[in-house]
Structure formats: structure tokens, C-alpha cells
Amino acid sequence: MWQESVNIFVYEWLQLPREEKLSDALNFFIYDTVKILFLLIIIIFAVTLLRSYFSTEKVREYLSRKHEYTGNVLAALFGIITPFCSCSAIPLFLGFLQARIPLGVTFSFLISAPLNNEIAIAMLFGIFGWKVTALYIGFGLLVAIVGGIIIGRLGLEKEILIEVKPIEGEIKAEAQVIPFTTRLRDAQEYTLDIFRKIWLYVLLGVGVGAFIHGYVPTEFITSIAGADNPFAVPLATLLGIPMYSNAAGVMPLIEVLTSKGMLLGTALSFMMAITALSLPEAMILKRVMSLKLIAIFFCTVTLGIIGVGYLFNAIL
């Protein structure tokens, strides 16, 4: 329905010729930006509202009573619904350890939370639909669970640079009573805040995407990111690491690349590398953990993401 409206606007009102590169690109740009921004607002609002019912404190209380494995799975799951910002990574990391939550379980959470951030989820859903979003979340959980278990097994507790004093006795999260209207208002403010931050990136991303869509030949993309290149997955993963926090701008590009022959597993690896691994977060974490631990953390997640990409390309 929306596509038809855009068609009418571009081909009839603006009188641009059909099957032309310029009008195709413009059509694509209008269709995509409006669709993505619209879905972005709705999804971020819904996710924020839902998340206001889950606090890190409550999650910590719950996880402190779980053991390894079960703990890893639950920590990864909680990573989806708990609000998380990389600037809070340190207090969160230390707070979990204080509650005697095992290191590996803490890492499962630390991997899963940024991977499942609301912007990435909203962009994925808006662009690729629920199937790819579900695959992304599912494989993301797998990376978080397995990565956390591996880090936990390596016995790296001595690589934590700050002495963590465990909390004595039962860990209790204070229950906060927040009226629903306040939650609605908070979610609305937060959504607008995010929107102001990312709308330009979305426009830029879709703009470059529209250009590729109209001008770059499919054969070119296929030869780099398609089945012809066996190293496309690790290449995409390594490219994704420095692109942190630009999920909003990069996702529209990935859409175009997949429509031009990039394999979906490669695309998934690319997206996961963008969200899960962030160099600024590594810099923040350096204050509480040794470089060795950070390196192991990054390598484990990178290898996990590459594995997911190959696995997915092989299955499909």
C-alpha cells in the first residue's frame, strides 16, 4: 500500500520516468526512509515501555541464585529485555560480581545486552521483517551463551583489576512502584531522544543504499560478499567491529547488499559485529579488567559471530 503511494508520488506527481536509475533510487529512498523511521518510533517506544518493567537490579537478584549453564542461558535472555548502555558497563560488571554471579554468566549478559539493543532490533524488524529478526536474536543468544560458558571455563577471575567485595547475605532489589502514565511518558521521551540522535544516520544509510540500489551492479556485490567469496563472513565481521553505534545507518546498507547477492549469514555476522563489539566499550572496561581478559572476550565473540555466519550460509 505504501509502495503504491510512493509510486504515485514519484511517477505521477513528479512525472519521473519509470525504469530510470534516478527515479528508481528516489522511489527507493522515499519508500525506505519513511517506512523505517515510522517502524523505528513504534518499536523503540514499545521496547522501552516493556523494558521499564525489568531493572538490572531485579535481574541481578534473580541471577545471583542461579548456577553456571542455567545462569548463562538466563543471563543471555535477560540481556534482551534489560535496558543497557555501554557507559554503565562497569557498574553493571562489578555489581554482578559483587552479587557472586560467576564471571562467565556476567559475560553472557555483557554480550547479549548490546547485541539486542532496541535500535538494532527496530532497524532489523523494520527492514528485514520478523523472521530475520528472530534469527538474529536466536543466533545472538547462542553466541552470548557459548561465549559466556567458554570465558567462565577459562578461570580468568584474576584478570579483574579491582577487588570485588561480595555482598553479604541475601541480595534484594528494592521494588519501585512507578505509575503507568509515568512509564508511558518516560518511554515517549526516550523514543524522541533516540529519534533525534539517529534519524540523520538512517537518511544517510538509506541514501547511500539507494545509490547502490540504482547504480552498483549486482555482479560486483556478489563477487565480494556473495557465495563466490569464501572469506566474506570473517571480512564482514572485521569490518563491522569499528562501526559501533551506527546500526541505524548501516542496516539500510545491509538491506541493499543482501538484495544484491550478499548471503544472509554474512549479513547476520556483519550486523552482530556492529552491535556486539564496540571499541569504546573496550576502552571503558579497561578500567576494571586486564587487556588479556578484554582480548579474550573480543576474540571469543568475534569467532562466535564468524561461526554463526558460516553455519547460517551452510544451512540455507
**In degrees rounded to 5, what are phi and psi of residue 289?**
-135, 155
Please identify, using beta-carbon distances, which residue of 154 and 284 lies nearer to another protein.
284
User: Quick one: 92 or 262, whose CB is closer to another protein?
Assistant: 92
Residue 203: partners with Cβ closer than 8 Å, 6 or more residues away: 33
Contacts with another protein by CB under 8 A lie at 55-57, 60, 83-85, 87-88, 90-92, 94-96, 98, 162, 167, 186, 284, 287-288
**Rounded least distance, CB 87 to another protein, Å:** 3
Task: Tally Cβ neighbours within 10 Å of residue 56.
Answer: 19
> Could you please report the per-residue DSSP string of 32-73?
HHHHHHHHHHHHHHHHHHHHTT--HHHHHHHHTT--TTHHHH
Q: Are 241 and 279 in contact (CB under 8 A)?
A: yes
For residue 111, the minimal CB distance to another protein (Å) is 17
Torsion of CA 58, 64, 69, 74, to 10 degrees: 0
**What pairs with residue 160 in β-bridges?**
289
For the CA atoms of 245, 248, 252, 258, the dihedral, rounded to the nearest 10 degrees, stands at 40
The least distance separating another protein from the CB of residue 294, rounded to whole angstroms, comes to 17
Tell the smallest beta-carbon distance from residue 150 to another protein (Å): 24
CB of 163 to another protein, least distance (A): 9
Q: Which is nearer to another protein, 96 or 136 (CB)?
A: 96
3-state helix, strand, coil in the chain (%, to 5): 75, 0, 25
Least Å from the CB of residue 98 to another protein: 7
Q: Which CB sits closer to another protein, 57 or 68? A: 57
Report, in Å, the least distance between residue 86 CB and another protein. 9
Using left for φ > 0, alpha for ψ between -120 and 50, and beta otherwise, residue 100 falls in left
A 10 A CB-CB count for 287 gives 10
We find the least distance from the C-beta atom of residue 247 to another protein, in angstroms, to be: 19
Q: Give counts: helices (H), strands (E), the chain.
A: 15, 0
Closest to another protein by CB, 52 or 72: 52
For another protein, give the closer residue by CB, 74 or 210.
74
Instruction: Give the three-state DSSP class for 238.
Output: helix
Distances in Å between the alpha carbon of 303 and those of 55, 146, 169, 264?
A: 30, 11, 38, 18
- Rank residues 35 and 183 by Cβ distance to another protein and give the closer one: 183
| Nearer to another protein among residue 22 and residue 85 (C-beta) | 85
